[in-house]
Amino acid sequence: MIKSFSKILDALMSELAARTPFTNLNPSAAIRGLLEVIAKVVADLYGLVRTVMEQSFVQTATGSWLDLKVREMGITRKPAVKTRVYLTFSCDAPAAQNITIPAGTICKSQKNAEGNDYRFITTEEAVLEEGATSVQVVAEAEQSGKDWNVGQGTITRMVTRVTGIQAVTNGAGFLIREGSDPESDRQLRERAIGKWETLGLGGTRGAYRNWALSVPGVIAASVLDDFPFGPGTVGVVILCENGAPSAELINEVYQYIKARKPLTADVRILAPEIRSISLDLEVIRFADADRTIVEAGVRGAIENYSSRLQLGEGLIIARLINEIMDAPGVYNLKVNSPQQDVNVSVDQFLVFDQVTISHRIKGRAYQDAGIDGGQGDETTAQILDVNKEAFNLE
């Protein structure tokens, strides 16, 4: 059993009192200070034992300890990936001569709601030819991570000026490869535990899922193993940080699985169907709670719930309510839409495309008030006549 510092110190003082003539064990006593030093050393050793025990198992190891543990199984943590995109450089009129766009040209996105912008650097030299008005160039994010997965039409500012080029943008079909963060401990642990499914001679559902999750950028996968495209076929649906994966990521997963699958299996890698729904919520907040803070907390809770959804996982209203009720200032919650749980199929991914929140204030029954033109509670309290005789009143 792991003992705390206080329990160790109490045990030492009890033993000292029982075995020696020392009686002054007050905090100011010299012998008490010596016992505290010994207790601290023993407590640190107990802490080391706890750490070693926890980090000796895949289920509880974390960080670099987990990296070392899964390496015994031939697994390494998936690294972060840089976003790669097509940038379209253009001029207002047909070019009078060839315009060279050098490799290393820097462009950046518009600022997002948090005030952040993201820089992209061209990886190859390109030429906007005489008579043309635009040219596409491959560019890569300055750093790795999912934050660089910006939206279409947002990369519009040129940091490196190129004579003759008036504009830059990332148009339709701009995404080549999604960026992703390093694999989390939870994801790595799940993949390590699923490693056993890949050790058989056949291709089990768990094996296909584990193979797909081994490719950087894939955050979830589901397997259609009921011959979805005919005898011998297997479908693997993958999800990336952006939702639907790019063609390049789909090909990477296919090549990875192709090298490991049974020879007779016909494997197809699929993008999920994005299932969009809207939320309409009525939040009742405490009278002293700030509306802005409450709404930010509610939206943050919804985002946390959404971020944990996996492929084929629908909306469970009770779980969503439980998440939102933990937001500061929320007294109660009513889900106007959807009115029941939303189920999705194994090849679908659920996203909330619109969230509408209305507010009410909760006080006493006669203090309840509607917000934004709504109506307050109709309930009124009945005031009883006072029994004057009981209170000696005339």
pLDDT, tens digit, for every residue of 231-289?
A: 989 999 999 887 889 999 999 999 999 998 988 899 999 999 889 999 999 999 998 89
Overall CATH class of domain 185-271: alpha beta
Q: Where are the alpha helices (DSSP H) in 114-193?
A: 185-193
Nearest to 261 by CA among 211, 325, 191, 320: 211
pLDDT band of residue 390 (cuts 50, 70, 90) is: low
Cβ pair 235, 224 in contact under 8 A: yes
Nearest to 368 by CA among 285, 252, 300: 285
Average pLDDT, the chain: 87
Q: What does the pLDDT average to over 282-299?
A: 92
Q: What does the pLDDT average to over 44-50?
A: 88
pLDDT > 90? residue 325: yes
Q: What does the pLDDT average to over 24-53?
A: 88
Q: What percent of the chain has pLDDT over 70?
A: 91
Check residue 389 and give its pLDDT. Answer: 58
Overall CATH class of domain 84-177: mainly beta
Pairwise CA distance, residues 31 & 11, whole Å: 14
Cβ pair 234, 267 in contact under 8 A: yes
Structure token pair of residue 98: 């060839």
pLDDT > 90? residue 117: yes
Residue ranges per domain, the chain? 5-54, 84-177, 185-271, 274-370
